């Protein structure tokens, strides 16, 4: 994902953050690991506690599980997709400040040239629409219930309900934009504007000017810095496709609704993109994955789950430990997690430990996400 607009337009009106060259753009980083609600509902993700900063416009995900008993867990046929409607919708009144949840008491018309200091507030609900995503999945496995692998389809949605940024973070966003304005109004830039260059030539010369890289890096770090606290909510439903060979009819699988919070502490002395995360989660679950061994029939029960996670994030590598307790049959999830972001489009995620009903204490979950950034650009002209 990225914020993109030609430098030439910005030099004239400064309406939004602009980056011209494909190699000089503000990328929205901290993209979501493979944990769509369609997967989380069925407890097949390497981590059940995830509060992603950004979700790719469209992503494909796959999950596999390995245990000491090949009859446990899942097969390799577990796939999901997730997409954000925001990146496909028309955004006529969006600008750099609004995208970063900054608010103003003034009535600022779309397409106008607002001043940085006009924005003196922060909208804690500002990511509810931007971070809304919809997911679907196909899963196949025993799920610690069936004797033979069974198939489920699952759908889900999630969003960022609350976002809190501290004063230092907000100031960094505003200061980076002021530095950008100063750069674009400098004598060197004005001189280039008067040379009658083509857009491509102008862009190349602009990004080669002294001082540009520092302006770019400061803005990139400010835009991508994680908030001090974020609260996500999600819900999902799964449907059992049935098994005629075992005389099991299709029907209700699971329904869940949950909230996940992330308290993120930045470690700038290590790296601007390094954090210590303290997560918490609560989930209500209507669980239809229970088998009456006497009648060979599935039945549903209501459960609640709560837990936490401690995670260390150092640039592209994250590792942590999560524990979630379920108030039925002393079931719990105790898993160590490792995530490596190969690039902004490809993320590898793994988890090792005990997963609720699993008889084995050595279950391993491996997930892969491939994301597409199609139309993931902020452009107020559209």
Block mean pLDDT (10 aa), the chain, length 382: 35 34 48 71 86 74 60 61 84 82 80 79 94 90 79 93 96 93 90 84 86 89 93 95 76 94 94 93 93 82 96 92 93 91 78 79 63 46 31
Confidence at residue 139, expressed as pLDDT on a 0 to 100 scale: 87
**Contact indicator for 366, 339 with CB cutoff of 8 Å:** no
Q: Kindly write down the DSSP assignment for every residue of 315-364, as one continuous string.
A: TTEEEEEEEEEESSTT-EEEEEEEEEEEETTEEEEEEEEEETT-S-S-EE
**Contact indicator for 367, 33 with CB cutoff of 8 Å:** yes
Structure tokens at 160: 């960022």
Instruction: Tell me if residue 238 falls in helix, strand or coil.
Output: strand
The total of other beta-carbon atoms located within 10 Å of residue 157's CB is: 17
**Contact indicator for 39, 61 with CB cutoff of 8 Å:** yes
The values of phi and psi at residue 89, to 5°, are -95, 155
Structure tokens at 368: 């892969």
Alpha carbons 143 and 248: distance in angstroms, whole number: 15
The values of phi and psi at residue 34, to 5°, are -70, 90
Looking at 105-244, list the stretches that DSSP marks H as alpha helix, in order from N- to C-terminal side.
Answer: 127-130, 167-184, 187-193, 199-207, 212-224
Q: Is the dihedral of CA 182, 183, 188, 191 positive or negative?
A: negative
Structure tokens at 336: 């160590």
Confidence at residue 133, expressed as pLDDT on a 0 to 100 scale: 92
Alpha carbons 342 and 350: distance in angstroms, whole number: 13
Q: Is the dihedral of CA 68, 69, 75, 80 positive or negative?
A: negative
For residue 303, CA distances in Å to 49, 287, 288, 289 come to 17, 7, 11, 12
Q: Looking at residue 22, which CATH number applies to its domain?
A: 2.40.160.40
Tokens 């990225």, residue located: 2
Global pTM? 0.83
Confidence at residue 365, expressed as pLDDT on a 0 to 100 scale: 66
Confidence at residue 379, expressed as pLDDT on a 0 to 100 scale: 34
Of 103, 68, 24, the closest CA to residue 362 belongs to 68
Of 382, 372, 371, the closest CA to residue 349 belongs to 371
Domain span holding position 189: 2-378
CB-count burial class (<10 Å; 0-12, 13-18, 19+) for 190: exposed
Confidence at residue 296, expressed as pLDDT on a 0 to 100 scale: 75
Q: Could you give the number of structural domains in the chain? A: 1
């Amino acid at each position: 994902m990225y914020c993109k607009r030609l430098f030439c337009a910005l030099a004239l009106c400064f309406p939004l953050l602009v980056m011209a060259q494909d190699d000089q753009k503000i990328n929205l980083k901290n993209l979501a690991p493979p944990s769509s609600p369609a997967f989380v509902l069925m407890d097949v993700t390497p981590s059940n506690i995830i509060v992603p900063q950004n979700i790719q416009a469209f992503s494909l995900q796959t999950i596999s599980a390995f245990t000491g008993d090949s009859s446990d867990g899942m097969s390799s046929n577990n796939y999901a997709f997730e997409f954000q409607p925001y990146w496909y919708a028309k955004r006529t009144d969006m600008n750099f400040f609004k995208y970063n949840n900054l608010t103003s008491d003034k009535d600022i018309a779309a397409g106008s040239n607002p001043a940085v200091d006009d924005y003196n507030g922060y909208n804690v609900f500002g990511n509810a629409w931007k971070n809304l995503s919809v997911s679907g999945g196909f899963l196949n496995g025993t799920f610690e219930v069936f004797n033979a692998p069974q198939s489920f389809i699952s759908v889900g949605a999630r969003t960022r309900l609350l976002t809190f940024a501290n004063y230092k973070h907000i100031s960094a966003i505003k200061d980076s934009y002021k530095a950008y304005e100063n750069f674009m109004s400098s004598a060197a830039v004005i001189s280039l504007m008067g040379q009658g260059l083509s857009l491509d030539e102008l862009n190349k010369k602009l990004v080669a000017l002294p001082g540009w890289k520092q302006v770019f890096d400061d803005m990139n770090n400010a835009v991508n810095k994680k908030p001090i606290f974020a609260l996500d909510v999600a819900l999902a439903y799964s449907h059992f496709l049935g098994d005629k060979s075992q005389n099991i009819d299709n029907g209700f699988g699971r329904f869940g609704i949950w909230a996940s919070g992330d308290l993120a502490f930045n470690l700038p002395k290590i790296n601007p993109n390094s954090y210590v995360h303290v997560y918490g989660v609560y989930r209500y679950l209507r669980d239809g994955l229970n088998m009456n061994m006497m009648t060979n029939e599935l039945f549903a029960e209501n459960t609640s789950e709560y837990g936490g996670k401690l995670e260390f994030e150092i640039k592209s590598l994250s590792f942590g430990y999560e524990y979630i307790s379920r108030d039925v049959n002393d079931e719990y999830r105790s898993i160590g997690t490792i995530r490596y972001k190969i690039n902004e489009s490809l993320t590898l995620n793994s988890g090792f430990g005990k997963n609720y009903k699993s008889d084995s204490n050595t279950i391993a979950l491996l997930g892969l996400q491939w994301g597409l950034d199609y139309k993931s650009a902020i452009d107020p002209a559209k």
